[in-house]
């Protein structure tokens, strides 16, 4: 746990709140704060991966193609964030757990 903590007062959509509550119940013994902290950590890690991938691509890196010549899932996933666009929440996202 961090040495210092802060209280965040944020607004989320109802589907996001349902998703976070379900995450808390299924993976954090009902602890909503723990679920929110894990979600923030996951987001931070994803941003780090995205930045690293963009840096590697700028240096000429690319993933090899699959056996049938198609793009690997990891490249498709990481490249979907390369445009630095804002990722939007879809209603279906609440059912991902």
Give the pLDDT confidence score for residue 20 in this predicted structure. Answer: 94
Written as six digits, the tokens of 50 are: 């995205």
Give the pLDDT confidence score for residue 82 in this predicted structure. Answer: 60
3-state helix vs strand vs coil in the chain, percent to 5:
55, 0, 45
- Residue 25: count other Cβ atoms within 10 Å of its Cβ: 14
Q: Is the distance from CB of 30 to CB of 24 less than 8 angstroms?
A: yes
- The rounded distance, in Å, linking the Cα atoms of 75 and 87 is 17
Tell me the mean pLDDT per 10 residues along the chain, length 97: 77 90 96 93 89 91 88 80 59 49
Show the beta-strand stretches assigned E in 36-97: none
Give the pLDDT confidence score for residue 34 in this predicted structure. Answer: 93
- The rounded distance, in Å, linking the Cα atoms of 94 and 97 is 8
What is the distance of C-alpha 10 from the center of its chain? Answer: 18
pTM: 0.67
Give the pLDDT confidence score for residue 37 in this predicted structure. Answer: 92
Give the pLDDT confidence score for residue 80 in this predicted structure. Answer: 72
Give the pLDDT confidence score for residue 90 in this predicted structure. Answer: 61
């Amino acid at each position: 746990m961090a040495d210092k903590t802060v209280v965040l007062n944020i607004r989320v959509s109802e589907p996001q709140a349902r998703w976070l509550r379900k995450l808390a119940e299924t993976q954090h013994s009902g602890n909503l704060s723990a679920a929110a902290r894990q979600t923030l950590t996951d987001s931070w890690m994803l941003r780090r991966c995205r930045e690293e991938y963009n840096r590697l691509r700028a240096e000429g890196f690319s993933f090899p193609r699959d056996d049938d010549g198609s793009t690997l899932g990891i490249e498709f996933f990481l490249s979907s964030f390369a445009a630095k666009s804002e990722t939007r929440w879809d209603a279906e996202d609440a059912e991902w757990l």
